[in-house]
Amino acid sequence: MIYSMTGYGKGTAENPKIKVEVEAKSVNSRYLDIILKTPSSLINKEYEIRELIKNKISRGKLTVLIQIKSNNSEEEIFSLNNEKLISYISLLKKIKKTAKIGGILKLEHFIYNKELFEGNDLDLSDEEFEVIKKALISALDSLIKMKQNEGKELVKDLRKRIDIIEKKLAEIENESNLCVKEYFQKLKDKVKLLIDDTKVNNDRLELELAIIADKADITEECVRLKSHIKFFSESLDKDDEPGRKLNFICQEMNRETNTISSKTISTFITHNTVLIKEEIEKIREQIQNIE
């Protein structure tokens, strides 16, 4: 199964005391990179949270936001730090006086200063942490479902591009069988125009020309490229986490295509190798998003 590295999931859970909301967002990354945004009351549970995530997600840059709200409406979420407020007012007055700034102090001068407010962190029990884990698992499952759906679309696009490459390669093989023979005959005709036939051993001439013409033969490269294409398709079907393998196969496909382009004497084949390399590059861009 192919999974995309991009996705979004949300999960909620609650009990009589707390309500938990978890959001999980994932984007491309070479490795698993987990960014946790949690209340300070969960600092001692961070390792356990990370391990739970690692058991479900193997690759990608993952941002997880955990919010805990009290179900007790009488409980204050924030309180004001009076000492910091007094110091802050004194500082603002000093700045106004020093910079000779007029006007009066307004609410907006204070409301965005987070240091003036203190969050009343909930003291969480083991039972309440289970509620948090339930919400987290729900968010991760939702994320995985979206990654799976995105992966199916990726596979459709990759197969379409592989089909294009196979068709172009078939055209190249058909052209190659003709152009090498034509190349050999053109070399032979040109040599005959340049030298006197009576002075040349025809058997030796044909041998030398055959060696030259053989250097333009791309049969081996076409066979290897077809093998890489087959391996690519099999990896899409059978591998659980094929991202890195597919990237390596793409490199080999590109290498064989470049060799075909450099060896051929056919402009038709050269043109088709350019089209194949375009599709390979599009494939490489897509597989960067595969987990």
Does 11 score more than 90 pLDDT?
yes
φ and ψ at residue 100, rounded to 5 degrees: 55, 50
User: Mean pLDDT of all residues in the chain?
Assistant: 82
Amino acid at 183: Y
Does 150 score more than 60 pLDDT?
yes
Residue range(s) in the chain whose domain bears CATH number 3.30.230: 7-74+122-149
pLDDT greater at residue 216 or residue 213: 216
211's CB contacts (< 8 A; 6+ apart) are none
Does 23 score more than 80 pLDDT?
yes
Number of Cβ within 10 Å of residue 92's Cβ equals: 14
CATH topology of domain 7-74+122-149: Ribosomal Protein S5; domain 2 (3.30.230)
Q: Among residues of the chain, what percentage have pLDDT more than 70?
A: 76
φ and ψ at residue 284, rounded to 5 degrees: -60, -35
Q: Among residues of the chain, what percentage have pLDDT more than 90?
A: 42
Does 121 score more than 60 pLDDT?
no
Q: Which two tokens stand for residue 191?
A: 């040599």
Residue range(s) in the chain whose domain bears CATH number 1.20.140: 151-287
Does the domain at 151-287 match CATH 1.20.1660? Answer given as no
pLDDT greater at residue 16 or residue 258: 258
Report which of 269, 257, 260, 259 is spatially closest to residue 182, judged by C-alpha positions.
269
d(CA 108, CA 97): 19
Strands (E), 117-177: 117-119
Res 73: pLDDT: 52
Tell whether the torsion through CA atoms of 150, 153, 159 and 160 is positive or negative.
negative
The answer to which of 40-44, 167-171, 228-232, 250-254 has the lowest mean pLDDT is 40-44
Mean pLDDT of 24-43: 89
74-105 residue pLDDT tens: 444 455 567 777 887 887 788 777 877 777 76
Q: Which two tokens stand for residue 43?
A: 């600092």
Q: What's the predicted TM-score (pTM) here?
A: 0.66
Mean pLDDT of 172-191: 69
Res 22: pLDDT: 95
pLDDT band at residue 17 under the 50/70/90 scheme: confident
